[in-house]
């Protein structure tokens, strides 16, 4: 395991322990399960990606709205990643969210079904 992965695991464990939000606990637990190999796949799930993005969507970003509401990821996805990055940068996020943002960025970069809305997207959420 790489040093940064261990730091993300530690940050996610801490975030999970201090949050009372069911959605946040589900997101952090999914990140932990992924990094610690308890679930298959190199990326976070669609539901976790949608839930996490909704935390940082501010209401005026067209690509952010499109992703949160339909799952649409443009090619390239750099503008979407920038839109969903908090205005205050990493200092505006807690450390668990910063770890999840890195996993979210990897999800967007590796998403195979880009440039199209995802059927059933409105029904996916972190659980």
Does residue 35 carry a pLDDT above 70?
Answer: yes
Does residue 125 carry a pLDDT above 90?
Answer: yes
Does residue 73 carry a pLDDT above 90?
Answer: yes
The mean pLDDT of 73-94, rounded to a whole number, is 86
Q: Kindly report the average pLDDT of the chain as a whole number.
A: 90
Query: In sequence order, which residues have a C-beta less than 8 Å from that of residue 7 and are 6 or more positions away?
Result: 99
pTM for the complete prediction?
A: 0.89
Whether 97 and 30 have beta carbons less than 8 Å apart is answered as: no
* Residue 1 pLDDT: 63
Dist. CA 49–CA 10, nearest whole Å: 20
pLDDT digits (tens, 9 = 90+) for 2-20: 788 888 889 999 888 888 8
Does residue 39 carry a pLDDT above 70?
Answer: yes
* Residue 41 pLDDT: 79
Does residue 32 carry a pLDDT above 90?
Answer: yes
| Percentages of the chain per state (helix, strand, coil), in multiples of 5 | 60, 0, 40
Dist. CA 115–CA 77, nearest whole Å: 10
């Amino acid at each position: 395991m790489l040093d940064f992965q261990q730091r993300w695991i530690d940050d996610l464990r801490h975030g999970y322990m201090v949050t009372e939000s069911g959605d946040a606990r589900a997101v952090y637990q999914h990140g932990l399960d992924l990094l610690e190999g308890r679930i298959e796949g190199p990326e976070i799930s669609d539901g976790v990606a949608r839930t996490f993005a909704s935390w940082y969507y501010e209401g005026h970003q067209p690509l952010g709205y499109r992703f949160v509401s339909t799952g649409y990821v443009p090619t390239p996805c750099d503008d979407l990643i920038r839109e969903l990055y908090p205005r205050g940068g990493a200092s505006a996020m807690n450390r668990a969210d910063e770890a999840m943002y890195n996993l979210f960025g990897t999800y967007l970069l590796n998403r195979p079904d880009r440039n199209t809305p995802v059927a059933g997207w409105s029904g996916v959420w972190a659980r």
